[in-house]
Structure 1
Amino acid sequence: MSFQVTVQPSGRQFSCDEGETILNAAIRAGVGLPYGCKNGACSSCKGKLLDGDITHGAHQEKALPVKEEELGFALFCCATPHSDVTIEAREVAGVGEFPIRKMPVRIAKIDKVANDVIVLSLQLPATERLQYLAGQYVEVLLRDGKRRSYSMANAPYKDELMTLHIRHMPGGLFTDQVFATLKERDILRLEGPLGTFFLREDSDKPMLLLASGTGFAPIKALVEQAVHNQSQRPMTLYWGGRRPQDLYMHALCEEWARTLPNFSYVPVISDALAEDQWSGRSGFVHQAVIADLPDLSAYQVYACGAPIMVESAQRDFVALCKLPEEEFYADSFTSEADLA
């Protein structure tokens, strides 16, 4: 049995199989509903149920509070329909441009760039170069059926190898393997491209790029794509970490600031120790933005990193800095701990 999903205000329709989430059905049909984590943690896919009957699977209450659900809001990543439904959602143009596919990749290089960060360089099959938009992510398919999501850290044109930035989460099913047992020439299986976080190229607004930790990975890809496009838009990157070593590609960002005429870089450290001899900006990275740019009404913001940073930035930039809500684009890096 399948049900018909109608998206308003566009009027687009697609079918959703019984037991399938609305988001998965939309992805399968090439309909660009916004989404991020796909597991009920980040609220990127939140919209309204206008008509019909759905059931929500497991999700975090902060992503969909009970009061919002009572008002008809839904998380389409974990909502399964029991009838034909009509939903209200903002569609994302271009997200279905490239097919989602599964493919094997070979580990070409393993670079430990910080005590807890590894850059994996992956060789794709010669006949199956993955097409994606800078900022999107892939899912690593594990043997037990579980998946782990990682953003591509290079623009699609940039290198023959595709790179992922992986932070060690002690006890993590995949990251323990990456840091202990994976070796060059091992084979992984991926599925992608996924996600609606990518560069909006139909705008000439200055870009504020906001990252924490390995949230820098898709931001790096966005910068490379903008440079490749010969974009003249001003770009300002704020990258936050607890200690200086968390900014594991700090030298690259400084090089961009020296060589790109429209690029500036502000590193921000929240918990520096005396031994770090940190003399730069301190505190929370999104608060540094507020101090420097109290009026964001003319900006586009691209934010990626820990959920608390992304949520705080979205709330405060809109409420305090006059950022238009529709100009905040985000990818929230959720872990198993975030889903608990």
Structure 2
Amino acid sequence: MAFNVTIRQSGKQFQVEPDEPVLTAALRQGIGLPYGCKNGACGSCKGTVLSGQVEQRPHSSSALSNDEKTRGMALFCCATPGSDLEIDVREIAGVGDMQVKKLPCRINAIERKADDVVVLKLQLPANERLQYLAGQYLEFILKDGKRRSYSMATPPHSEGPVELHIRHMPGGAFTDHVFSAMKERDILRFEAPLGTFFLREDSDRPIILLASGTGFAPIKAIIEHAVFKNLQRPMTLYWGARRKKDIYMLELAEQWAKDIPNFSFVPVLSEPDPSDAWTGRTGFVHRAVIKDLPDLSGYQVYACGAPVMVESAQRDFTQHHRLPEDEFYADSFTSAADLAHPV
């Protein structure tokens, strides 16, 4: 039998089939719950079970700690109900308006931007138009049924190919293929748009954009979308990487700082090489934000990249620097390795 789930704040209700994750059921019925990886690695879909019981399937301990479990929290992407539920979780407006499609695409171009980063450009069928929100991602559907997620770096208004930024994960089946065997005109299949990381346009708060590595991809889409919509909110991009070469679109970001009113760019290197002759900021990228803006109470933050960066930023910004919890939006770039030792 199906179970009824009620969302405390809005009073919305939806049904969950036996053994079906709460998140899957919500999305199936047009209810916009937050999510990222959908496999228990990132923690984006976390909420509180106010009444009823859920079974929590294996997940990363960093996404949901034992302490959070004892406080009644759950990861709804891998929590199945054992009874009717009442839950407290932030709803996302606008996501349900986008039609999720499965589409073929052709590799239009493969451009090497760094030793371990390529820009992949995907040509969609001539009669297809992909509608999405700036910041969302797609999932490649591989021949064995496995999926790989990548953020779309092109803004929704772009008429050209869809651009992805892919970092080589040595030993990773998909990225090994991308860097060694993939060629132009190859055909792939994907599902999109996915995710609840996108620019909230109903706010007038200044925007902090926080990226590590290829977490720059959805941030790029958000910035270009904001410019296209002529949004006047101040934006500051903090882009962190180990070495100068890892900020693989440095010239583009520097050009934005010259051309876009109220836009600032702060590159931060954690391990600059002497050959970089680096005179800019160093250390952890989120600490650079704190140094510049110790009081974040009036800001809105978009963070994307390595899970450790996203988690550190969320903790420090909200607990110690007055950022409201509901003004922190994030997309952790989790990989299969993040679920190697699930709990």
Classify the TM-score, shorter chain. Answer: over 0.9
**Percent identity over the alignment?**
64
Find the counterpart in structure 2 of residue 226 from structure 1: 226
- Secondary structure of the 1:226 match is helix
Structure 1 residue 91: Cα displacement: 0.4
What stretches of structure 1 move > 3 A for 4+ residues in a row?
none
**1:196-254: CA deviations, max 9, x gaps?**
10000001111000000000000000001100110110000000000001100000000
Could you tell me how far apart the structure 2 residues matched to 1:52 and 1:297 are?
35
| TM, length-normalised to structure 1 | 0.98
Q: Distance in 2 between matches of 1:14 and 1:102?
A: 25
Deviation at 1:86, TM superposition (A): 1.9
- Whichever residue aligns with residue 56 of structure 2, its letter is H
- Letter paired with 1:19: D
Name the SS of the counterpart of 2:131 in structure 1.
Answer: coil
* Counterpart position of 1:267: 267
Superposed CA offset, 1:135-157 (max 9, x none): 00011111111111100001011
Q: CA-atom RMSD, angstroms?
A: 1.1
Task: Using the TM superposition, name which of 120-129 and 301-310 deviates more.
Answer: 120-129
- Aligned counterpart, 2:280: 280
Amino acid at match of 2:19: G
Matched residues in 2 for 1:123 and 1:2: separation? 41
Is 2:82 the counterpart of 1:47? no
Residue 317 of structure 2 aligns with which residue?
Answer: 317
Which structure 1 residue ranges, 5 or more long, are not aligned? none
Q: Distance in 2 between matches of 1:163 and 1:19?
A: 36
CA distance, structure 1, for counterparts of residue 314 and residue 67 of structure 2: 20
CA deviation after TM superposition for structure 1 residue 51, in Å: 2.2
**Distance of 2:103 and 2:110 partners within structure 1:** 20
Letter in 2 for 1:233: R
Q: What SS does the aligned partner of 2:34 have?
A: coil
Q: 1:177 is aligned with what amino acid?
A: H
How far residue 158 of structure 1 moved from its aligned partner, in angstroms, is: 1.9
Counterpart in the other structure of 2:191: 191
Number of positions where the alignment pairs a residue of Structure 1 with one of Structure 2: 340
Q: Tell me which residue corresponds to 1:98.
A: 98
Which letter does structure 1 place at the counterpart of 2:214? T
Mean CA deviation greater in 38-47 or 148-157: 38-47
The residue type equivalent to 1:277 in the other structure is: A
Shift of 1:82: 2.6
Tell me the residue number matched to 2:206: 206
Structure 2: gaps of 5 or more residues: none
Query: Higher mean Cα deviation, 59-68 or 24-33?
Result: 59-68
Classify the secondary structure of the residue corresponding to 2:113. strand
Moved more, 105-114 or 155-164: 155-164
Aligned to 1:300: 300
Q: Give the CA deviation at 1:267.
A: 0.4
Distance 1:319 1:273 in 2: 33
Tell me the alpha carbon deviations over residues 37-83 of structure 1, each in whole angstroms, 9 at most, x when there is no partner. Answer: 21112211111112222211110122211222122111001001233
- Does 2:247 correspond to 1:250? no
User: Does residue 46 of structure 2 align to residue 35 of structure 1?
Assistant: no
Show the counterpart of 2:154: 154
The answer to whether the Cα contact below 8 Å between 1:158 and 1:224 also exists between their aligned partners in 2 is no
Aligned letter for 1:213?
G
